[in-house]
Amino acid sequence: MCDTALSGLIVKEVSGFYWVEAGDGHTYRCRLRGRLLEAAQSSDVAAIGDRVRFDAVPDETGRIGAIFEVEPRRTVLGRAVRTEGSRGAGDPVRQHVIIANPDAVFVVTSAVKPAPDFPLIDRLLAIADHAELPEVVLIVNKMDLADEAKVIARFLPYEKMNYTVCYTSAEKRLGIERLRELLDGKISVFTGASGVGKTSLLNAIQPDLGRAVKEVSGWRDEGVHTTRDSVLVRLEQGGYIADTPGIRSAALYDVEPEELDGYFRDIAPYVGRCRFNDCAHQDEPGCAVIDAVRRHEISRARWRSYLALREELTKALEAY
């Protein structure tokens, strides 16, 4: 072992190996050491985005190391998964950490071709708000193919909910500089449905970035250790970006069905006005949320997204 420990950022993980970008400018392939290795049998103690301390170990195969400390996480983007084997310390459901310490999530949709998938958008926004990420951005791409006024009107409710909404066209390079500003110096996550133009957007932000992200996001391994769905790619301007297909159909972790309304920004303000404390906002009398839907203060589509996600959480709870 070296006399001086190094610090760094985990940028890739495959089957219990962690690639760590260190402060000395090199990347080390590391394993967990001691108590961390033991703890990893039941939980995700280290993940992409974690800041770690490790000892570099001389080896003829290249730069390798042993991680002995993982710094406390500021944020976690994760999902609920069924426990298998020794994972999860006996609980039927555990949290799979997709990325640790993300600063921002960018939910990408298209204005047309394909049409916006609002239920998916609402799921991803709820996941991001549950994770308490510092910044949540909704990107509406392919604006060059759409009626601008109509598209902006459809997404106006999200702007009123204080989401940052960026209207872009990778083809016409509309909104690209704004995206660069939002990405600068951060660990950012891109996610969204297939065909919305994420790769083209990434290439517009930085030449060949889309290909790089696509290649590294293809890592899969079915070993004992949890497999990540993303790898961090360094941005030339500073910061990192990851594409995360794993959260597109993710189940919320540690959220009870009756808590879900707190993660819908437009619904939450009305919850305390309902006649019943345990109101599910489905068909109960005196429901302030349903009244707000009727008055068009909450969009019917958002309300339906909430009901569908709540039903999913209820069924999952019953199954466990």
pTM recorded for the entire structure: 0.87
CB atoms within 10 A of CB 82: 14
Burial pattern 177-202, b for ≥16 Cβ within 10 A else e, equals eebeebbeebbbbbbbbeebbbbbbb
What domain range is 281 assigned to? 257-319
Q: What value does the mean pLDDT take over residues 92-102?
A: 85
Q: Is 291 helix (H, G, I), strand (E, B) or coil?
A: helix
Q: Which of 227, 247, 267 is the last residue of a domain?
A: 247
pLDDT confidence band for 218 (50 / 70 / 90): very low
In a domain, residue 88? The reply is no
CB 268 within 8 A of CB 306: no
Q: Residue 311 sits in a domain of what CATH number?
A: 1.10.40.50
Q: Which residue has the higher pLDDT, 34 or 240?
A: 240
Residue 58's pLDDT is: 74
pLDDT confidence band for 81 (50 / 70 / 90): confident
Q: Which residue has the higher pLDDT, 253 or 162?
A: 162
Residue 148's pLDDT is: 96
Q: Which of these ranges, 82-91, 197-206, 242-251, has the smallest mean pLDDT?
A: 82-91
In a domain, residue 163? The reply is yes
In a domain, residue 89? The reply is no
Do 183 and 277 lie in one domain? The reply is: no
Residue 221's pLDDT is: 34
User: Using alpha carbons only, what angle is made at residue 193 by residues 190 and 198, rounded to the nearest 5 degrees?
Assistant: 45
Contacts of 218 (CB under 8 A, 6+ apart): none
CB 281 within 8 A of CB 303: yes
- 8-state DSSP, 116: P
Domain count, the chain: 3
307 has a pLDDT exceeding 80: yes
